[in-house]
Amino acid sequence: MAAIELRNVTKKFATADGGTYTALKDLSLTVEEGQFCAVVGPTGCGKSTTLTLVSGLERPSRGEAFVHGQEVNGIETGTGFVFQQDAVFPWRSVLDNVAAGPIYRGKDRGEATTLARDWLRRVGLSGFEDRFPHQLSGGMRKRVALAQTLINEPRILLMDEPFSALDVQTRAIMSTELLHLWDQTKPAVVFVTHDLEEAIALADKVVVLTAGPGTVKAEFEIDLPRPRVVQEIRFDPRFIELYEQIWEALRAEVAEAYDRTTRSAVAS
Amino acid sequence: MNDVSSIHGAQDSTTFDAMAAQAGPTPVNPAGVASARRRAPRGTRRRLTLAGVRLGIVAVALALWQLCVHAKIVDPFFWGEPKGVWQTLIDWFTVGTSQGSLGQQVIITLEEAVMGFVIGSILGIVCGIALGRVAVLSEIFGPFLKAANSIPRIILGSIFTVAFGFGIQSKVILAVVLVFFGVFFNAYQGSREVDRNLIANARLLGASRWQVTRDVVLPSAFTWILASLHISFGFALIGALVGEILGANQGLGLLIRSSQNNFDMNGVLAGMVLVAVIALTAEGLITLLERRLLRWRPPQTHGGAAVQ
C-alpha cells in the first residue's frame, strides 16, 4: 500500500471575477512508504496545490486523494507540513513553538517541553529556547519550523519550497540536515520546489509537472547513493546525467509558462 | 550531522549577533545593549532638553493667557484664568469640594470609567472574535452592529440616567456602550486578518478549533485590539463624565456641572485639568500593557516609542 496516492485529481478554484481557474488537471501521483519524492515544475503549475490536497487543507474537485489507503477527509493530523513562508507562531518562544504539536496532541506540558528541547538539540538550536522568532535568522526560523513539524513524527511530510527564502549556502546546509533528519524517522516526503538541482540532490523520485493546469509530464528515479552531501553531489557525473535528462522534460514547460506570463503582461 | 549542525549553529549565531547590533536604538539582545549604553548620555541630555522646551511652551502659553486677562483682552468671567484655575485646584485639594472631598469625586469617576472600560473591552473582544471566527454569526448580527454603531450612542445616556438612576450604574453602562464598539470592530477585523498559514499550521499540528482561536487568532488580533484600547479609555471617561453631567450625586462630571451652574469657569477648567491627568496616566498604563503583551514583535514596529 502506497503512503500517498493522488488518483486523477482535478482542482479548480473560483477566481475573483467569477470564473474558475484550473490548478491541477487529471493528476496521478504515488509516493511509497519512506520514499522521498520531489515535485518540480514551472511557476503557477499547481505544485503547492498537490500538497494542500494530500494534507486535507483543500478537497479535490474531481478524483481522490489517499493517505495510507484511507481517503483524505478533512485535515490529516498524521501529516507534517512545512510552509514556504514562516508559519511559526511569532508570539511564542522557540521552545513553546516546538512544544505546540505534542501539547495539541494531548501530552502534558512537562513531557512536551522535554521532547521539544531534544528536537531543538537535533536541529542545532540548543541555547535559543527562549528567543522569539523575530530574533532569529531566516535559516534558524526554518529549523524551528522543521523541529515543530518533525517532533510529531509524521509518517507523511509535505514541504512547500521550504528553503526558497534562504541564501544559497544556508540552503545547501539545510538540505543536508533535512536528509539526515529524514533518515532518522523515514517518513514519505513530497517536496515541492522549482529548483531542479535541489530536487535531484534530495529525492528518490523526481516528478515533472506540466505548465498549468498541472499534470504529471514525466517521472524519474534518482539512483544516486545515500547518504548524500547536498553541497557536493552536484559534481557527481551521474547527477549531471540525470540533470540533463530531467531538464530536457522540464525545459519546454518552463518556456511555456514564461511565454504565458509575458503574453498576459502585454495583454493587461 | 552533529558536526554539521554545530558548525552551522555557530555560523548562524554570528549573523544573529550582527542583526542584533543593527537593531540599534531599541535593542533586545545583549550585543545591542552595549552599543546603546555608549549612546545613553547623549540620549538623556536630548530628552531633558526636549522636556525643557515643552515645559517652556506651556509656561509661555499660560503667561500669555494671564497677561491677556490683566490687559482686559480676555474676560475671565467667560474664559477663566490660570491663576483662578490654580486657586480652585488648591482649594479642592485642601478644603474639599462643595460635594465632599476631591479624592472621593475622582475615585467615583475613575471607578465608573475603569469598570466601563474593562466590561466594554471584554465584551468587545469576545463578540468581535466570535463574529470573526463564526461566519454565520457575522452574517446574522453584522447589519445590527453597523446600524447600532451609526447612531449617536451618547444620547442613550439620557435613557440610562432615567432608567438606572443617579448612581454609578447608569454611568458604567454608558461607558460600556461607548467602549464596546471601538474594541468590537477592531477585534473583528483583527480576527479576520490572521495569517492563513498560521491557522493551517496550527490545525496540522493538531490544534482544535478552540485552540486555534485561543493560540493563533487571539494573539494575532491583539495588535489590533490594543490599538483600540488607547482610544477606548478616553471613551470610557467621556461616558462616565457625560453620565455624571446628565444626572448624578457625585463625581468629577457633577463637579464640572455645578461649576457651570455657578458661572465658575475656573472650576470647569480645573475639572478638565484633573480629567486630563487621569487620561494621560491611563494612556501610560495601557502603553505599558501593550509593551508587555506585544514583546514578541520586532522592536522597530513599536511605533509608539518615537512619540514618547
Residue range A208-232: mean pLDDT, rounded: 90
pLDDT at site B58: 95
The secondary structure of residue B7, as a DSSP letter, is H
SS3 (DSSP) at A195: coil
Contacts of A144 in chain B (CB under 8 A): none
pLDDT at site B301: 47
Asked if residue A80 lies in contact with residue A154, where contact means CB atoms within 8 angstroms, the answer is: yes
Structural domains of chain A ordered from first start: 4-78+158-267 (3.40.50.300), 90-153 (no CATH)
pLDDT at site B164: 94
Asked if residue A238 lies in contact with residue A180, where contact means CB atoms within 8 angstroms, the answer is: no
Write the residue in B16, B205, B208 that is nearest to A137 by C-beta.
B16
pLDDT at site B11: 39
Residue A54 region by backbone torsions, left for phi larger than 0, else alpha for psi between -120 and 50, else beta: alpha
What predicted TM-score, i.e. pTM, was given to this entire model? 0.79
Positive or negative: CA dihedral B85, B87, B91, B94 = positive
CB contact under 8 A, A87 and B16: no
The C-alpha atoms of residue A211 and residue A198 are separated, in whole angstroms, by: 19
Provide φ and ψ at A79, rounded to 5°: -110, 135
Which of A38, A16, A20, A40 minimizes the C-alpha distance to A214? A40
Asked if residue B66 lies in contact with residue B81, where contact means CB atoms within 8 angstroms, the answer is: yes
Instruction: Judge whether A185 is closer than 8 Å to chain B, CB to CB.
Output: no
Grid cell listed for A157: 511530510
Question: What's the count of helices (H) and strands (E) in chain B, helices before strands?
Answer: 13, 0
Residue range A5-29: mean pLDDT, rounded: 91
Lowest mean pLDDT among A140-154, A220-234, B292-306: B292-306
Residue A168 confidence (pLDDT) above 90: no
Within chain B, what is the greatest distance between any pair of CA atoms?
87
Grid cell listed for A217: 509530464
Residue A267 confidence (pLDDT) above 80: no
- A 10 A CB-CB count for B139 gives 10
What residues does each domain of chain B span? 2-68, 81-306
What mean pLDDT value characterizes chain A?
A: 91
Q: Consecutive 10-residue runs of chain B (308 residues): their mean pLDDT?
A: 39 38 36 46 86 96 94 91 93 90 94 97 96 93 90 91 93 96 94 92 93 94 92 94 93 94 94 94 93 82 39
The C-alpha atoms of residue B93 and residue B110 are separated, in whole angstroms, by: 17
Contacts of B20 in chain A (CB under 8 A): 135
ipTM confidence score: 0.89
pLDDT at site A165: 85
Lowest mean pLDDT among A19-28, A48-57, A183-192, B290-299: B290-299
What is the total residue count of chain B?
308
Residues 31-90 of A with CB under 8 A from B: 55, 57, 75-77, 79-81, 83, 85-90
The secondary structure of residue A214, as a DSSP letter, is B
Grid cell listed for B215: 493560540
The C-alpha atoms of residue B11 and residue B296 are separated, in whole angstroms, by: 24
pLDDT at site B41: 65
pLDDT at site A266: 60
Write the residue in B19, B28, B197 that is nearest to A83 by C-beta.
B197
Provide φ and ψ at A157, rounded to 5°: -120, 120
pLDDT at site B51: 95
Instruction: Judge whether A107 is closer than 8 Å to chain B, CB to CB.
Output: no
CB contact under 8 A, A132 and B295: yes
Please determine, looking at this structure, whether the domain spanning B81-306 carries the CATH number 3.30.2270.10: no
- The residues that bridge with A81 in the sheet, in sequence order, are A158
Which distant-in-sequence residues (6+ apart) come within 8 Å of A133 by Cβ?
Answer: A86, A88, A89, A90, A92, A94, A97, A141, A144, B296
